[in-house]
């Protein structure tokens, strides 16, 4: 009796989708971190050389290898890494000489602010456009499909450069495309989002500076990566508006606005998945746009880490990106249950 009660409790927990996802995430995390670890240690360059600098002697390098544990077998190193990870220690970056976790805490919000702004632009501008394209006839369909092809063909980093040329060099409307805020205006660190921190500190000058820096890279990302969302929404929405249940609703004489809401609620789900995937993808993919605008965020950190085979920093960035992906998908799944009554976990 007692035992079956316990089993029921375990099943109850298992059915809590969130927990199931978290449990499944652990082997994934272990697998990925090990893969990254092995891959990076296969690299031809010796991290100890990087650490010691070009003039170091043989003995110094040997000593550093011993210090970093590089002379031990790979699984010993990995075990140690996982052990530290459990305590929240991601190791020390060889390039910045700072703990990787500390580097990430500074840089991740920078990227998050940028890509969240881009996602807001997508939601505010492109989703209404997608709905309009679904209602509009032939021409609207062609325009949105044309925009999809165009945006899919433009390299984002080049598009960012073009916007810089147009709005900074030529028209002089945009601020210098270097960094997230004018020098000396940084508000005190609270959330890491400069716009929010500036508002919290009640510093409107800083807010204006940070916001104006956000505009160009934000539009670059939204323009390029919003296209699939728009294209998808147009397709699902136009299918939805012609679906039998909508025709039935028309026959019943329901008001148009209500019918429209029914159609939209069903049509928004696939594009929302896509938007979530885009959000996750952007964490890494924004690296190119970040380096164009000298954003100093997560993506640029990952680039720098990869290029200088800074193995602790690379493992840390990959883990952080995956953790972020997990959170986004989790939230997305929970939102589905709210929007779509058919979805139950």
Partner 1 sequence: MAAIDPVERPDAAEPASRAPDAGGVNAAVVIGGFLAFGSILLAVFGPLIAPYPPMDANPGQQLLAPSGTHWFGTDDVGMDVFSRVIAAPRIDLGIALSATVLALVIGTAIGGIAGYFRTWWSEAIMRISDLIQSFPVFILAMVLVTITGQEIWIVVVVIAFVNVPLYVRLIRAELLSLRERTFVEAAIVLGVPPLRIIRRHLIPNVLGIIINQASITMGVAMLLTAGLSFVGAGVRVPTPEWGLMIATGASSIVTGQWWPSVFPGIALSLSVFGFALFGDGVARMLGSRERGA
Q: Is 200 in the site for partner 1 (CB under 8 A)?
A: no
Residue number, 149 or 345, with CB nearest to partner 1: 149
Indicate if the alpha-carbon torsion angle 117, 163, 303, 102 is positive or negative.
negative
The candidate with the shortest Cα–Cα distance to 33, out of 77, 69, 72, 73, is 77
The candidate with the shortest Cα–Cα distance to 105, out of 293, 284, 319, 320, is 320
CB of 165 to partner 1, least distance (A): 5
Q: Is 306 in the site for partner 1 (CB under 8 A)?
A: yes
| Contact between 304 and 96 (Cβ < 8 Å) | no
Q: Which of residues 22-41 bind partner 1 (CB under 8 A)?
A: 28, 31-32, 35-36, 39-40
With b meaning 16 or more CB within 10 Å and e meaning fewer, what string describes 198-226? Answer: bbeeebeebbbbbbebbbbbbbbbbbbbb
Q: Which of residues 214-243 bind partner 1 (CB under 8 A)?
A: 238-239, 242
User: Could you give the CA distance from residue 218 to residue 163 in angstroms, rounded to a whole number?
Assistant: 11
Measured CA angle at 338 (ends 334, 343), to 5 deg: 75
Q: Is 246 in the site for partner 1 (CB under 8 A)?
A: no
Q: Is 248 in the site for partner 1 (CB under 8 A)?
A: no
Q: Which of 13, 83, 128, 155 binds partner 1 (CB under 8 A)?
A: 155
The count of chain residues that interact with partner 1, using the rule CB under 8 A, is 55
Q: Is 167 in the site for partner 1 (CB under 8 A)?
A: no
| Contact between 197 and 187 (Cβ < 8 Å) | yes
Which residues of the shown chain bind partner 1 in the complex (CB under 8 A)?
A: 28, 31-32, 35-36, 39-40, 42-44, 137-138, 141-142, 145, 149-150, 152-155, 157-159, 161-162, 164-165, 168-169, 177, 238-239, 242, 280-281, 283-285, 287-288, 291-292, 299, 302-303, 306-307, 309, 314, 317-318, 321-322, 325
């Amino acid at each position: 009796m007692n035992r079956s009660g316990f089993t029921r409790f375990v099943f109850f927990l298992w059915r809590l989708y969130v927990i199931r996802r978290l449990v499944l995430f652990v082997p994934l995390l272990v697998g990925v971190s090990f893969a990254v670890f092995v891959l990076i240690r296969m690299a031809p360059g010796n991290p100890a050389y990087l650490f010691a600098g070009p003039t170091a002697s043989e003995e110094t390098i040997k000593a550093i290898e011993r210090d970093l544990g590089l002379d031990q077998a790979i699984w010993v190193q990995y075990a140690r890494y996982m052990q530290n990870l459990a305590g929240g220690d991601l190791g020390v970056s060889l390039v910045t000489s700072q703990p990787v976790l500390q580097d990430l805490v500074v840089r991740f919000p920078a990227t998050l602010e940028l890509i969240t702004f881009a996602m807001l632009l997508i939601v505010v501008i492109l989703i209404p456009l997608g709905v309009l394209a679904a209602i509009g006839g032939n021409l609207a369909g062609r325009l949105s499909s044309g925009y999809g092809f165009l945006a899919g063909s433009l390299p984002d980093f080049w598009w960012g450069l073009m916007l810089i040329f147009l709005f900074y060099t030529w028209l002089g409307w945009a601020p210098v495309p270097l960094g997230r805020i004018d020098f000396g205006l940084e508000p005190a660190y609270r959330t890491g989002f400069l716009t929010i921190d500036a508002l919290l500190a009640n510093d409107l000058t800083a807010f204006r500076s940070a916001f104006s820096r956000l505009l160009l890279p934000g539009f670059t990302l939204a323009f390029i990566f919003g296209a699939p969302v728009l294209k998808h929404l147009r397709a699902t929405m136009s299918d939805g508006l012609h679906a039998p249940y909508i025709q039935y609703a028309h026959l019943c004489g329901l008001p148009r606005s209500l019918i429209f809401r029914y159609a939209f609620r069903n049509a928004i789900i696939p594009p929302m998945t896509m938007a979530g995937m885009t959000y996750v993808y952007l964490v890494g993919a924004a690296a190119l746009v970040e380096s164009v605008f000298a954003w100093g965020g997560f993506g640029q950190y990952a680039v720098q880490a990869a290029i200088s085979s800074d193995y602790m920093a690379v493992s840390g960035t990959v883990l952080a990106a995956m953790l972020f992906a997990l959170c986004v998908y989790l939230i997305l799944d929970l939102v589905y249950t709210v929007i779509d009554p058919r979805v139950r976990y």
